[in-house]
Homo-oligomer: A and B are copies of this chain.
Amino acid sequence: MREIAILGIGQTPISEHWEKSLRAIAGEAVLAALADAGRERADGPALSAVEGLFVGNMLSGLLNRQENLGALIADWVGLRGTEAVKVEAACGSGAAAVRAALMAVASGAMDCAVAVGVEKMTETVGPQTTAALATAADADWEAAQGLSFVAINALVMRRYLHEYKWKHTDFAPFSINAHANAVHNPYARLHDAITAADYNRARMVADPINLLDASPIGDGAAAVVLVPADLIPRNGRPVVTIAGSASATDSIAVHDRRDPLWLSAAAESAKKAYAQAGVGPADIDVFELHDAFSIMAALSLEACGFAERGQGPRLGLEGQIHPTGRVPIATRGGLKARGHPVGATGAYQIVEVAQQLRGEAGATQVPGAKIGMAQNIGGSGATIVTHILKAN
């Protein structure tokens, strides 16, 4: 497969963007990514060089009454006419769009594609958003039974606490690290550091998940410009390439799994991505994982080989997840504090890993980061897309 590079990255702050439409939010990220590509290389692709636009989005139909986002956003950014399509994999839509763009360029169908993840969620009322998010789960056998998305994750976390004898407070380091890192990320939704005491007294959402276990929704978009690596002229700056890309699924309903505490699609997609990149967990310098809930951070670390089964929380308790630790995660705030505009999140993760590999992560820079991984989850582990990036 043709080696693909990420030449440009762009993102919007994650916030409540009452003043901006869905297309404007997406457009801001797309144009920022193209401008960034121009800064990276003097002859970076102009807008007119873009041959395909891949939009990752989950909820535009339900929350914005708008489908056909490909054409909508292409036109808005000045790409009227250009091939464009929406890719959906629930909260995994962002990375799924990047993977679709990657395959489009790798196939030879085009030499320059832009993937943008976008979501505009905050203009609607809470119950409507909660109901919309439940469409990531099994409509007939989970949502129709009254299970919201956070409730499903609460059942998983409850089971985890029971099986592996952890206390709820043992998950605090995941949230504390995420919030501490987000303070330094101007694009993050939350900029307040938290303490263990804050975590322990946070309001309950769905027992045992409290407010500081859960990621905040938001409006935002992130984009990447993909080109064949061999078409990038060398100018001394590192080239960030996609060394591994894989996607896998699991049953959509958690109760259908042999083991509700094992993210088999995370394990499977990571295994494939590791093999493609010729690396293993020990080689990963930074790991942007899908900490929609703190329990998911633990399960992701275990499925991807960074912790033994049932031992995910230990990495946090031992201080290994900070930017200078052995397994840096959520270095720009993660879903927990950077925010979780669901269909955009996977694109943010890839943008953030690219920032780390370029050495542009500021106060939360992972020293000497050369290989990074981003893993995006749709549903409670149902669709998982893993990317491994390298600085060359």
A residues sitting closer than 8 Å to B (CB atoms) are 1-2, 21, 58-62, 64-72, 74-75, 79-90, 96, 99-100, 102-104, 106-109, 131-132, 134-140, 143, 245-252, 256, 264-265, 268, 378-379, 382-383
Q: In angstroms, how far is the closest chain B Cβ from the Cβ of A109?
A: 5
Please state if A246 and B83 are interface contacts (CB–CB under 8 Å).
yes
Q: How many Å lie between the Cα of A245 and that of B89 in the bound state?
A: 24
Please state if B135 and A61 are interface contacts (CB–CB under 8 Å).
yes
Which residues of B are found within 8 Å of A102, using beta-carbon distances? 107
Q: How many Å lie between the Cα of A379 and that of B108 in the bound state?
A: 27
Q: How many Å lie between the Cα of A247 and that of B84 in the bound state?
A: 8
Which residues of B are found within 8 Å of A252, using beta-carbon distances? 68, 71-72, 75
Q: How many Å lie between the Cα of A81 and that of B103 in the bound state?
A: 19
Please state if B248 and A82 are interface contacts (CB–CB under 8 Å).
yes
Q: In angstroms, how far is the closest chain B Cβ from the Cβ of A89?
A: 5
Q: In angstroms, how far is the closest chain B Cβ from the Cβ of A144?
A: 8
List the B residue with the shortest CB-CB distance to A269. Answer: B83
Q: How many Å lie between the Cα of A250 and that of B72 in the bound state?
A: 9
Which among A2, A89, A100, A140 has the greatest number of chain B C-beta atoms within 10 A? A89
Please state if B68 and A136 are interface contacts (CB–CB under 8 Å).
yes
List the B residue with the shortest CB-CB distance to A249. Answer: B71
Which residues of B are found within 8 Å of A107, using beta-carbon distances? 1-2, 102-104, 106-108
Q: How many Å lie between the Cα of A58 and that of B61 in the bound state?
A: 9
Please state if A89 and B85 are interface contacts (CB–CB under 8 Å).
yes
Which residues of B are found within 8 Å of A81, using beta-carbon distances? 248-250, 264-265, 268
Q: In angstroms, how far is the closest chain B Cβ from the Cβ of A291?
A: 19
Q: How many Å lie between the Cα of A74 and that of B256 in the bound state?
A: 13
List the B residue with the shortest CB-CB distance to A140. Answer: B21
Which residues of B are found within 8 Å of A136, using beta-carbon distances? 67-68
Closest 9 CB pairs of A and B: A106-B107, A71-B382, A66-B139, A68-B90, A107-B107, A67-B135, A71-B249, A83-B247, A86-B88
Chosen A-B contacts, 9 in total, with CB atoms closer than 8 Å, are A1-B108, A61-B61, A64-B139, A67-B88, A68-B89, A71-B383, A81-B264, A85-B87, A103-B103
Which among A62, A83, A99, A143 has the greatest number of chain B C-beta atoms within 10 A? A83
List the B residue with the shortest CB-CB distance to A379. Answer: B68
Q: A71-B383, A75-B256, A249-B74 are in contact. Are A89 and B90 (CB under 8 A)?
A: no
Which residues of B are found within 8 Å of A2, using beta-carbon distances? 107
Please state if B139 and A383 are interface contacts (CB–CB under 8 Å).
no
Q: In angstroms, how far is the closest chain B Cβ from the Cβ of A64?
A: 6
Q: How many Å lie between the Cα of A21 and that of B141 in the bound state?
A: 12
Please state if B85 and A247 are interface contacts (CB–CB under 8 Å).
yes
Which residues of B are found within 8 Å of A96, using beta-carbon distances? 85
Which residues of B are found within 8 Å of A140, using beta-carbon distances? 21, 66
